[in-house]
Amino acid sequence: MTTNDTLAKARIAVLGYGSQGRAHALNLRDSGLDVVVGLRKGGPSWERAHAEGFRVAEPAEAVRDADLIAVLTPDMVQPSLYRDAIEPNIKAGAALLFAHGFNVHFKQIQPRNDIDVVLVAPKGPGALVRREYEIGRGVPCLFAVYQDTSGHAEAKAKAYADGIGGGRAMLIETDFKEETETDLFGEQAVLCGGASELVIKGFETLVEAGYKPEIAYYEVMHELKLIVDLFYEGGLKRMLEFVSETAQYGDYVSGPRVVDESTKQRMKAVLTDIQDGTFARNWIAEYQAGLPNYKRLKQADLDHPIEQVGAKLRARMPWLNAGQAAPAAAPLKKVG
């Protein structure tokens, strides 16, 4: 039996039809696997999945006959989804699959002990997972086994990863703890929290020194994509190959002045909060309270002058939204 044969006769229920859910469902179906999509009836996702040829059912019904259930809904929705639709209906010996280990690792979901529990996490957004599959390639995937009741949990995880195209690229074994904690750290310290704060503080530094906000925006936000793309394509080596010697020298002597050992110590504090559950407890409490701080902090970011000037500048760059009509031009006004 090859890895793909493991799910050859299985029914797979994909719960959720957002970025990842849609990509997984389409790729699995195109790999010859039997897929049903589980959604709340009547919503736009229900209509889209139905229009794209899937059998669509309410989550509880989708789970009832499935051999593998892929939970691809937002993190904070998953505990109630498990309690109400999955736990009462999943059959013994079936597999429960997650794309992120948050709820299992932090005990918001405690799976029944008569099922397999696995993780398959593509290292790319759903659109990329789908696009790479369609051209005969795949996106690398992490995979993990949390609970192996059947004795075949790892084979099921690998077969699912193959079904969405991951086996064409690379499968990397991990565990729920490692995937969850590194994912949260990356988001908070570097990718979302770290990068956005670095950009904002750079913008503020230039504007407060008297430079035009439009120029500050280009220098610290717009051009960041050029560097990130080089990182993405070939790491530090490629970035250094494509920037000037002046930029390289500035990198070497000024980068460590901004992001120094004290920054690393604060990163370690962020990691500690993730590891000991502080972040998870705070986030769960925030969600249950109706997201008051989340909404306030998000609005503060949206109201920042870098967003005001950025919206005007992006309106002059139609290539950013290819195929969309460019807004009417308006005079740029100094912000800040």
Ligand-binding site membership of 45 (annotated): yes
Strands (E), the chain: 11-15, 34-38, 55-57, 68-71, 95-98, 116-122, 141-147, 171-173
Ligand-binding site membership of 47 (annotated): no
Ligand-binding site membership of 40 (annotated): yes
Ligand-binding site membership of 19 (annotated): yes
Ligand-binding site membership of 134 (annotated): no
Can you read off the two tokens belonging to residue 258? 């901004």
Edge-to-edge strand ranges of the sheet holding 34-38? 55-57, 34-38, 11-15, 68-71, 95-98, 116-122, 141-147, 171-173
Can you read off the two tokens belonging to residue 225? 């994509």
Task: List the catalytic residue out of 24, 100, 152, 304.
Answer: 100
Ligand-binding site membership of 87 (annotated): no
Ligand-binding site membership of 136 (annotated): no
Paired with 34 in beta bridges are: 11
Q: Indicate the residue type of 197.
A: E
Radius of gyration of the chain (CA): 23
The answer to whether residue 304 is catalytic is no
Ligand-binding site membership of 17 (annotated): yes
Can you read off the two tokens belonging to residue 61? 């019904």
Ligand-binding site membership of 18 (annotated): yes
Annotated binding site for Mg(2+): 183, 187, 219, 223
Catalytic residues, by residue number, are: 100
Annotated binding site for NADP(+): 17-20, 40, 45, 126
Annotated binding site for substrate: 244
